[in-house]
């Protein structure tokens, strides 16, 4: 399995990357936050990621519907050509319809289809990136929480030992 | 995915990448299940359509293209449906193969992650 590079991207198209925490103690010291503030910050980050994810998923659905439409309309217009027309009319949206020669029409539809597909690809990559940041944040939250539990237990154990001595 | 309380095991960048990969595979797995369900339905619809076609006596049949129906001679409709059935079957096969591959990769990652983190990590579907 190829491993991705260890140098993480700091953000992607406006979405901040979730920094990987090497060591919880260092992370807390450096950020100057106590455990609860740190957890609150991470939880808020998680919520923001989820919001962006929902927006991107909606965009993805729209693009997929658009692409499905292209494929259908290409089919319709190419079959219409077989039925002996020299030109076709394309509905451009916003109450505009233009007449094109068959070649022009095919090219236009093809170009729009490719643009939509390219946009979809970028969007899917955005979603993958986002998903990874969500996972990293969830793991960091768990680790900070565990570290805190561990600290408390150690302190309790130390306090109990001091009392007995 | 959650970790149990108070675990001491360190999480390395490689572990994090494995967890990320597992997450992505799990998402893909669910996407595939949906796509497979749609492809199976498509297959059934095509079967029904071709059965209907056998039963009908009509010479000219209405065939749906996008939002329009076109009049077509029966033989042409038959061959188109056959062709669509073939495409859908091949697609279904491809989807099932990808699903198997994803499941295998997930099983491998589970082995690695449970191996290191044991109870501290939960990779099951809630």
Q: What single string gives the DSSP state of each residue in chain A?
A: -PPPPSS--SEETTEEPPPP-S-HHHHHHHHT--HHHHHHHHHHHHHHHHHHHHHHHHHHHHHHHHHHHHHHHHHHHHHHHHTT-SEEEEEEETTEEEEEEHHHHHHHHHHHHHHHHHHHHHHHHHHHHHHHHHHHHHHHHHHHHHHHHHHHHHHHHHHHHHHH-
The CATH number given to whatever domain includes residue A142 is: 1.10.287
Nearest CA in chain A to B109: A1
Q: How confident is the model at residue A85 (pLDDT cuts 50, 70, 90)?
A: low
> Which residues, 6+ apart, have CB-to-CB distance to A90 below 8 Å?
A77, A97, A98, A99, A100, A105, A108, A109
Kind of pairing between the strands at A87-93 and A15-16: unpaired
> Which residues, 6+ apart, have CB-to-CB distance to A97 below 8 Å?
A89, A90, A91
Q: How confident is the model at residue A3 (pLDDT cuts 50, 70, 90)?
A: very low
In-domain check, residue A18: yes
Q: A146 at the B interface (CB within 8 A)?
A: yes
Q: A4 at the B interface (CB within 8 A)?
A: yes
In words, the CATH class of domain B13-118 is mainly alpha
Average pLDDT, 10 consecutive residues per value, chain B (126 residues):
54 93 95 95 93 85 80 88 94 97 96 91 86
Q: B70 at the A interface (CB within 8 A)?
A: yes
In-domain check, residue A137: yes
In-domain check, residue A78: no
- State how far the alpha carbon of B7 is from the alpha carbons of A102, B114, B119, in Å: 67, 13, 9
In-domain check, residue A165: no
Listed ranges A113-117, A124-128, B107-111; the one with the highest mean pLDDT = B107-111
- Residue A8 is predicted with a pLDDT of 57
CA gap B100, A65 in Å, rounded: 28
- Does pLDDT of A81 surpass 70? no
Q: B2 at the A interface (CB within 8 A)?
A: yes
In-domain check, residue A104: yes
A138:B1 CB<8 A: yes
Residue B53 is classified by DSSP as H
- Residue A4 is predicted with a pLDDT of 42
In-domain check, residue A132: yes
Nearest CA in chain A to B122: A139
A residues 45-74 near B, CB within 8 Å? 72-73
**Residue A11 lies in domain:** 4-73+83-152
CB burial of residue A165 (10 Å; 0-12, 13-18, 19+): exposed
* The total number of structural domains that make up chain A: 1
- Residue A78 is predicted with a pLDDT of 63
Angle between helices B74-117 and B13-55 (to 10 degrees): 160
> Residue B40 has which token pair?
């199976």
């Amino acid at each position: 399995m190829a491993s991705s590079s260890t140098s993480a991207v700091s953000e992607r198209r406006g979405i901040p990357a979730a920094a990987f925490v090497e060591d919880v103690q260092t992370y807390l010291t450096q950020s100057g936050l106590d455990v609860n503030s740190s957890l609150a910050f991470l939880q808020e980050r998680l919520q923001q990621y989820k919001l962006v994810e929902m927006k991107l998923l909606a965009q993805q659905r729209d693009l997929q519907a658009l692409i499905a439409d292209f494929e259908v309309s290409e089919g319709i217009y190419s079959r219409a050509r077989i039925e002996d027309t020299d030109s076709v009319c394309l509905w451009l949206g916003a109450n505009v319809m233009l007449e094109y020669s068959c070649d022009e029409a095919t090219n236009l539809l093809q170009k729009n289809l490719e643009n939509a597909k390219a946009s979809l690809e970028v969007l899917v990559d955005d979603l993958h990136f986002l998903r990874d940041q969500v996972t990293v944040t969830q793991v960091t939250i768990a680790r900070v929480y565990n570290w805190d539990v561990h600290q408390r237990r150690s302190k309790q154990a130390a306090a109990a030992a001091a009392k007995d001595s | 995915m959650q970790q149990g309380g108070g675990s001491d095991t360190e999480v390395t960048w490689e572990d994090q990448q494995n967890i990320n990969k597992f997450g992505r595979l799990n998402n893909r797995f669910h996407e595939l299940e949906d796509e497979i369900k749609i492809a199976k339905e498509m297959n059934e619809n095509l079967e029904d359509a071709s059965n209907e076609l056998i039963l009908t006596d009509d010479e000219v049949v209405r065939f749906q293209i996008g939002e329009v129906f076109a009049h077509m001679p029966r033989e042409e409709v038959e061959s188109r449906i056959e062709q669509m059935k073939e495409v859908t079957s091949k697609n279904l096969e491809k989807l099932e193969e990808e699903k198997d591959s994803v499941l295998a990769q997930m099983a491998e990652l589970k082995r690695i992650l449970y191996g290191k983190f044991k109870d501290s990590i939960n990779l099951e579907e809630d």
